[in-house]
Structure formats: C-alpha cells, structure tokens
Amino acid sequence: MSELHIRAILSGVFFGLWPLFMNRSGLTGNISSAVFALGSLIVVSPFAFYKLCSATTANVAWVMVAGACVSGGLGLLAFNEMLSKATPKTVGPLIVLMVVVQITVPALYKTIQDGGLTVSKSIGFAAAILAAFLLI
C-alpha cells in the first residue's frame, strides 16, 4: 500500500469522524462552520507555514484557489447547518447521502474528461444510487 493510499484512508477516517463530533456539539450551523474553519486553520497552519518557506506561488492558479474556497465555504455552511439540525439517529444517513453526491461530482468530471458515459460507468452510477438508497 502506497503513502497516497494510507493518506486517503486516514482522510476518510478523519472526514468521517469530525461531522459526528460536530453534530453533538450543540453549535448552530453557521457558528459551527466558523468554529470548524478557525479550529482547522489552527491545526493546519504550522504545517502550511513550514512548507511556505520552500514553496513558490508564481504558477498558482489563484482563480482556481478562489473557486475552491468559495465552493468549500458554501459546502461547509450547508453541511454544518444540516449537522446542527440532524438528530443522532438521522445524521448517519444524511452523511451517507452527502458522500454519495460528493463521489458523484468527480466521477461526472472524469466521465466528461474521458469523452462520455460508458456502460461500466453507467452501472457504477446506478450502483451508487442503489447504495445510497439502501444505506439511507
């Protein structure tokens, strides 16, 4: 297993855990988004500053950075508002639904990049919809 596989697994574990913690925090959606963003900034900053010393930003596509920040911020607001209103019983299925939709976006992107929908990709999309239905 490569380092990238291990990082993918770790990110899946941590991205799976934080919403469950936040759901039980008692914070409302927008406040929990701000607290989460600030807390994440505190955790990430030492690692980012360490890399900043050796990084170059000359070839950075800042429009893409802005797009990522806007879409991530809006997603965080919507997600945390959902978390603040979900009960401990409903939060799991709602996160499953979000993850299935989240997986679909890059899958659609790849489908477009590859030139169109194939039979195997069609089956994959149908399986994702079925999985979401069965898990919810």
Q: Express each pLDDT in 31-80 by its tens digit.
A: 999 999 999 999 999 988 887 777 777 788 989 999 999 999 999 999 99
Average pLDDT, whole number, for the chain? 91
Residue 32 has a CB neighbour count (10 Å cut-off) of 22
Residues 39 and 100 in one domain: no
What local confidence, expressed as pLDDT, does residue 13 receive?
93
Report d(CA 7, CA 109) in Å as an integer. 22
What local confidence, expressed as pLDDT, does residue 15 receive?
93
Q: What is the mean pLDDT of residues 3-23?
A: 94
Q: What is the mean pLDDT of residues 7-15?
A: 93
Residues 114 and 65 in one domain: no
pLDDT at residue 128 tops 90: no
Total domains in the chain come to: 2
Q: How far is CA 108 from CA 74, 94, 101, 129, in A?
A: 20, 21, 10, 14
* Cβ atoms of residues 88 and 23 within 8 Å: yes
Residues 76 and 95 in one domain: no
What local confidence, expressed as pLDDT, does residue 50 receive?
81
Residues 102 and 67 in one domain: no
**Look-up of token digits 């900043």:** 52
**3-state secondary structure (DSSP) of residue 110:** helix
Binning pLDDT at 50, 70 and 90, where does residue 82 land? Answer: very high
DSSP-derived secondary structure for 51-85: HHTT---TT--HHHHHHHHHHHHHHHHHHHHHHHH
Residues 44 and 101 in one domain: no
Residues 93 and 76 in one domain: no
Structural domain span for residue 104: 87-136
Please state whether the predicted TM-score (pTM) of the whole model is above 0.85: no
Output the six-digit token pair for 39: 């807390």
Report d(CA 22, CA 101) in Å as an integer. 20
